[in-house]
């Protein structure tokens, strides 16, 4: 298992940089991860992050764009504005969750 230093802490990550232990995540880690991919977090970003983390805690898998849109109530277009090109993958990365199934 690979480790990375984020905000002065050592966290466990996979070969793509996704956290492998969601309990190592906090808002400071999210800010640092977002900065790495060029995203400045706004309240809309935090709403999406909170949804996917709560959904993951309940279901045990990372939500897809379709689930975020239908269950989380965040329009697909908005997700693409918040996390351009690969919203589910980038959102999962910032939220400290595994990459959703089906993401390349």
Query: Which residues carry out catalysis?
Result: 103
CA atoms of 77 and 61, how far apart (whole Å) = 23
The Cα 47–Cα 8 span in angstroms is: 26
Handedness of CA 104, 8, 31, 37 (dihedral sign): negative
Q: Find how far residue 7's CA is from the centre of its chain.
A: 17
């Amino acid at each position: 298992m690979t480790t990375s230093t984020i905000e002065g802490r050592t966290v466990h990550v996979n070969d793509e940089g996704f956290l492998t232990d969601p309990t190592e995540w906090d808002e400071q880690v999210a800010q640092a991860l977002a900065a790495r991919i060029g995203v400045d977090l706004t309240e809309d970003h935090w709403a999406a992050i909170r949804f996917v983390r709560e959904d993951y805690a309940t279901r045990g898998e990372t939500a897809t764009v379709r689930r975020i849109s239908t269950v989380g109530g965040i329009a697909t277009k908005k997700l693409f504005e918040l996390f351009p090109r690969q919203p589910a993958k980038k959102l999962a990365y910032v939220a400290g969750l595994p990459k959703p199934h089906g993401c390349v």
